[in-house]
A and B are shown apart, each in its own frame.
Chain A
Amino acid sequence: MAGGRQAVGFRRVVLAALLVGVAWGAAGCDPFSFSPHQVRFSESERDLTRKNLERIRGLPQEETFKIAVFGDTQGRMTETEDGVEALDERDDVSFAIQVGDLTDFGFTKEFRWTQRLLAEIDVPVLTVIGNHDHLGNGSELYEAMYGPLNHSFFFGRTKFVFLDDNSREHGFDGTVPDLGWLRRELPDDGSYDRAVVVSHVPPTDPDFDPALKDGFVEALRRGGAVLSLHGHVHDFSDDIPFDDGVRYVTADGMEGRNFLVVTIGPGRVEVEQVFF
């Protein structure tokens, strides 16, 4: 009977569809994607800067403390995973910072996959946006997952200032980095003893707006910065390039299988490269 054959056909189709759906659900994935650039994260993937800052506020804020600094992850997931494991074996680090280029292409799924690895870090983790993270819908994705591109917080008597300085992605239009904001964040008015600035591109790099370089260096020097942390160049460096006492440190890319442990305290900044 035609009707019977039709029913069998349907049943098979429905069964196959159900099997696919169940397997997908079991893998913990959402089978529907609307664009590689869709801004669509689960609640646990959102607002991560604020959530991590809350955890940091709950930490004992000692005068001298250590932070870990991860370089560009940019699709190097095996190295990132190994680095996370190596970091988790330590118990001397208060929190960790990733210095941008979480992604290669600025895709939604890349942000998700990288964050899945960073979420395994036992201590709180903060990030800053890199040039690759700006691609396509990247800045919207970054804001949805982490929060504002520029932000600051206090850890004891140390002020941390995180900012977007991917000038080339903005066509060197003079707005990035936002020097007005940076100067206001670094008033050196006694509200902090030292400042640490974190941005992706070091000011010595051609991707940093040359018209804003002097203003940036000046803001750090006047603002009581002792350390400026960067990534982007995929090579470790630790210099005082402007002879003003401010240390500019770039973390190696994760492919170099190392991260930094930085000790910060009164009159003290020590940078150690930790290989894994």
Chain B
Amino acid sequence: MRGALLLAILAVASSATVPHACRAEEEPDREESLPFYVPSQAKLQFAGNVGLLSAGGGWSWWHRTVDLDLMFGWVPPMQGDDPIYIGTLEATVWPVELQLGDGWNLRPVSVGGTLSLTFGDDYWVFLPDRYPSKYYWFNTALRIGAFVGGSVGRAFPAPRNVDFYWELGVTDLELWIFLENPRQITFWDVLHLALGVAVAF
């Protein structure tokens, strides 16, 4: 858990501290100009079942068709006592990019998946010792999500983009309950929306 936290913080920190000198130079294809491990984008997201706010960053390949991001999410205490912290690994595929002119672009379709880990003693991936084996068939900490979405953005100039994105997602076990109870639960009940901004540098 501590490792994932560290990675998330590193991702945020490193995306925030990409040397400015790199930007000053001509870089028609950023993918070739920086070592592979330096993140190429920073993200800030609202909702999406991975935090009220989540921040992080990651990498983009093949001219923005595949993204991999590491996000750290936070839910403040609302009606309960404790905040919730969530680390998320997110992969997104952007098959289409339309140029709208004047540097604006629309990516009407995205498809992606998330692996999110809720931190803290109340959440476990492996059944704790207090239970006999197979007492619960699921885990409470690690969730798999899937989403579709899109983005609208602008290059300042390419490849430095600012993109506003949205994701309509579902989370594994919430979807499971819907599939078991389609008469009592609507798809709208399990669907959740995320809104965010991604800055590529």
Contacts and interface: CB of A to CB of B under 8 A. Distances in A.
B192 to A, nearest CB: 4
A34 B52 contact: yes
A6 B104 contact: yes
Interface residues of B, number: 53
Nearest to B168: A20
A35 B123 contact: no
Interface stretch (A85-93, A135-143, A196-204, A231-239): A135-143
B140 A39 contact: no
B100 A135 contact: no
B186 interface: yes
B81 interface: yes
Contacts of B184: 77-78, 81, 113, 116-117
B152 A109 contact: no
B77 to A, nearest CB: 8
A34 B75 contact: yes
A144 interface: yes
Contact of A77 (B73, B143, B171, B181): B181
A38 B100 contact: no
A37 B81 CA distance: 12
A146 interface: no
Identify the 3 closest CB pairs spanning chains A and B, nearest first.
A2-B101, A39-B80, A140-B80
A33 to B, nearest CB: 4
Interface string A1-22: 0110110011001000100100
A144 B80 CA distance: 7
Given A29-B189, A140-B81, A6 B100 contact: yes
B173 interface: yes
Contacts, number: 137
Among B78, B79, B131, max chain A CB count under 10 A is at: B79
Contact of B173 (A6, A39, A81, A105): A105
A36 B190 CA distance: 10
A36 B186 contact: no
Given A9-B100, A9-B104, A35-B49, 5 more contacts: A39-B78, A78-B184, A105-B138, A106-B140, A140-B82
A35 B100 contact: no
Nearest to A46: B79
Given A13-B152, A27-B188, A39 B100 contact: no
A276 interface: no
A178 interface: no
Interface in A202-235: none
Contacts of B166: 17
Interface of B: 46-52, 73, 75, 77-82, 84, 86, 98, 100-102, 104, 106, 118, 122-123, 128, 130-131, 136, 138, 140, 143, 150, 152, 166, 168, 171, 173-174, 177, 180-181, 183-186, 188-193
A104 interface: yes
Among B73, B123, B130, B150, max chain A CB count under 10 A is at: B130
A27 B186 CA distance: 9
A256 interface: no
Nearest to A172: B130
A136 B122 contact: yes
Contact of B84 (A41, A81, A137, A172): A137
A31 interface: yes
B177 A40 contact: no
A78 B81 CA distance: 33
23 contacts: A2-B101, A6-B100, A9-B104, A10-B152, A24-B193, A27-B189, A29-B186, A32-B192, A32-B193, A33-B49, A35-B49, A35-B73, A35-B86, A35-B118, A46-B79, A75-B180, A77-B181, A77-B184, A136-B118, A136-B123, A137-B122, A144-B79, A171-B128
Contacts of B75: 34-35, 38
Contacts of A110: 177
Among B81, B140, B186, max chain A CB count under 10 A is at: B140
A2 B154 CA distance: 13
Contacts of A29: 186, 188-189
